[in-house]
Amino acid sequence: MEGRYLYLRCLLSQQKAQGMVEYALIVALTVGILIVISVTNPQLQQSIVDIFARAAEKVDTLAAGT
């Protein structure tokens, strides 16, 4: 009985690891595609820079307490 329990436990942990690897691959592929798109499209690149600049300004404003 204990052998079956250990087998099922091992099987479930392998499935969790496989799921995490698949998730990481999907995220990596998505990030790679977004990087290629942003590098090849100057308007999108400028929009991204503007968004991060506005976010940095808001963080600085909040950090200054004003």
pLDDT tens-digit series, residues 23-40: 899 999 999 998 898 889
Q: Against a cut of 0.85, is the pTM above it?
A: no
Looking at residue 31, what is its pLDDT?
A: 93
Looking at residue 9, what is its pLDDT?
A: 66
> Residue 11: phi, psi to the nearest 5?
-60, -45
Six-digit token string for 10: 């091992």
CA 38 to chain centre: 16
- DSSP secondary structure letter of residue 65: T
* CA gap 7, 56 in Å, rounded: 51
Domain count, the chain: 1
pLDDT, the chain, mean: 83
Split at pLDDT 50, 70, 90, the class of 16 is low
Q: What range does the domain containing 53 cover?
A: 2-64
Six-digit token string for 8: 């099922």
